[in-house]
């Protein structure tokens, strides 16, 4: 079993979850600067897209800096041969690991028989893992999935994954049907740990398990890791609007707005092509971040509404500099 960098992490470790149009290069740069987690993931990237003539349009999703390492490339798709090719690419680009998305509930992904659809097709899921391993060389493989598709079939589903011996299993403790609308079922992650321990009882090594779902603080993550026996904790929405999350610190308003403006500046620098005068990734993408940064303080609604009208980082900076708040 190849653990790669995962084997060197102190337990319980913390990971930043892969989230489409959220954990892009700019967001990762900001989080890396202010409270770097033990491991980062890219946004999910289409294997089919990377194996097509449109490859170059997706390569910005796979850009990273040294300070973001260790970093894992997350791929989605349903064709084993394309996972092989993307694993080879991940090696060439210098990633530290590869993650296979087997949990995304997005309709456009499901239509491609990818993401959570793979829960319904364990034979294909295993072929994908094996082909990814074949192309990955020394890079460790992780799989991110859910308790089930429409119903919880944890006991039936995850032994198929363990059969392929990935370095890590990341378990979002909800089904595809539940999306993120119900409370995360961490008790089921404890069951996953028990299944893992039993499955690998005669082996010297065993797949690491990372729990994911509704973690609102580092303290809560540590408590859940201890209570449910996981090796690591993955955090998604809890980091929104708080790049200091992994330091376990509260962020004051002045610093929050300063970082928000810096985030917008990095986004523009990275995704605006000044030669062509075109956005590689629309500035509107930043607006979901503005919603997260601007909440829970006096004047938040007004500032958020004004930020929704902005078209550049300069306009964001002007709004922040003019905003009146209690220091």
User: How does DSSP assign 46-71, residue by residue?
Assistant: EHHHHTSTTHHHHGGGG---GGG-SE
Instruction: Please tell me whether residues 87 and 112 are part of one structural domain.
Output: yes
Asked whether residue 117 is assigned to any structural domain, the reply reads yes
Instruction: Please tell me whether residues 265 and 297 are part of one structural domain.
Output: yes
- Alpha carbon of residue 175 to chain centroid: 17
- Give the residue from 194, 221, 246 where a domain finishes: 246
- Give the residue from 246, 274, 290 where a domain finishes: 246
Instruction: Supply the range of the domain harboring residue 190.
Output: 4-246
* pLDDT of 325: 64
Question: Looking at 5-9, 93-97, 123-127, 319-323, which range is the least confident one?
Answer: 319-323
* Tokens representing residue 159 in the block: 């032994």
Phi, psi of 137, rounded to the nearest 5 degrees: 65, -120
Distance from C-alpha of 204 to C-alpha of 306, rounded to nearest angstrom: 57
- Sort 211 into a burial class: Cβ within 10 Å, 0-12 / 13-18 / 19+: buried
The whole-number average pLDDT for the span 112-134 is: 98
Asked whether residue 327 is assigned to any structural domain, the reply reads no
Distance from C-alpha of 44 to C-alpha of 75, rounded to nearest angstrom: 5
Instruction: Please tell me whether residues 177 and 267 are part of one structural domain.
Output: no
Average pLDDT over all residues of the chain? 95
Asked whether residue 91 is assigned to any structural domain, the reply reads yes
Other CB atoms within a 10 A radius of the CB of residue 29 amount to: 21
- The pTM of the full predicted model, rounded to 2 decimals, is 0.95
Instruction: Please tell me whether residues 188 and 121 are part of one structural domain.
Output: yes
The whole-number average pLDDT for the span 308-318 is: 96
Instruction: Please tell me whether residues 277 and 145 are part of one structural domain.
Output: no
* Strand intervals (E) in the chain: 13-16, 40-46, 71-76, 97-102, 141-146, 168-172, 208-212, 232-235, 272-273, 278-279
Question: pLDDT tens digits, residue range 190-212?
Answer: 999 999 999 999 999 999 999 99
Count of domains observed in the chain: 2
* Catalytic residue numbers, as ranges: 104
- Alpha carbon of residue 125 to chain centroid: 20
Instruction: Please tell me whether residues 143 and 175 are part of one structural domain.
Output: yes
Instruction: Please tell me whether residues 240 and 300 are part of one structural domain.
Output: no
């Amino acid at each position: 079993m190849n653990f790669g960098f995962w084997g060197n992490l102190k337990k319980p470790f913390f990971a930043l979850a892969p989230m489409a149009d959220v954990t892009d290069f700019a967001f990762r740069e900001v989080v890396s600067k202010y409270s770097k987690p033990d491991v980062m993931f890219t946004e999910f990237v289409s294997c089919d897209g990377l194996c097509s003539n449109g490859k170059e349009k997706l390569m910005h999703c796979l850009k990273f800096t040294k300070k973001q390492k260790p970093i894992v490339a997350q791929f989605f798709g349903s064709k084993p041969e394309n996972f092989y090719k993307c694993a080879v690419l991940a090696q060439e680009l210098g990633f530290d690991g590869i993650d296979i998305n087997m949990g995304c509930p997005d309709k456009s992904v499901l239509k491609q028989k990818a993401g959570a659809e793979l829960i319904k097709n364990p034979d294909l899921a295993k072929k994908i893992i094996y082909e990814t391993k074949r192309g990955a060389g020394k890079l460790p493989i992780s799989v991110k999935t859910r308790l089930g598709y429409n119903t919880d079939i944890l006991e039936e589903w995850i032994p198929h994954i363990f059969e392929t011996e990935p370095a890590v299993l990341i378990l979002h403790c909800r089904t595809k049907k539940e999306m993120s609308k119900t409370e995360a079922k961490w008790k089921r992650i404890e069951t996953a740990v028990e299944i893992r321990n039993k499955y690998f009882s005669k082996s010297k090594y065993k797949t690491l398990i990372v729990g994911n779902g509704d973690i609102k603080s580092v303290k809560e993550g540590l408590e859940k890791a201890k209570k449910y026996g996981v090796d690591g904790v993955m955090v998604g929405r809890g980091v929104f609007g708080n790049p200091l999350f992994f330091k376990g610190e509260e962020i004051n308003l002045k610093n929050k707005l300063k970082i928000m403006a810096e985030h917008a500046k990095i986004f523009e620098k990275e995704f605006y092509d000044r030669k062509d005068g075109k956005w590689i990734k629309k500035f509107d993408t930043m607006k979901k971040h503005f919603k997260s940064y601007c909440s829970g303080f006096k004047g938040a609604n007004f500032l958020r509404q004004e930020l929704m009208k902005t078209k550049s980082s300069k306009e964001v900076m002007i709004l922040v500099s003019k905003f009146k708040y209690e220091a």
